[in-house]
Amino acid sequence: MNQRMSTERYNRICQLLKMRQPDLTVCMEEVTKPHNVSAVIRTCDAVGVHKVHAVWNESENLRKCTAMGSHVWVKTQLHKTMQDAVGCFKEQGMQVLVTHLDERASDFREVDYTKPTVVLLGQEKTGATADAIALADHSIIVPMVGMVQSLNVSVAAAIVMYEAQRQRQAAGMYEEQSLDEKECQEILFKGGFPFLFKECKRRNLAFPYIDEKGNIQADEAWWKALQFSKEH
52 closest CA partner among 32, 78, 31: 78
228 closest CA partner among 205, 212, 211, 210: 205
Q: How many beta carbons lie within 10 A of that of residue 25, not counting itself?
A: 24
* 8 A C-beta contact, residue 111 and residue 18: no
142 annotated ligand binder: yes
Rounded distance between C-alpha atoms, residue 86 and residue 96, angstroms: 7
Rounded distance between C-alpha atoms, residue 188 and residue 214, angstroms: 8
* 8 A C-beta contact, residue 102 and residue 132: no
Which residues are annotated binding-site positions for S-adenosyl-L-methionine? 99, 142, 151
State the binding site.
99, 142, 151
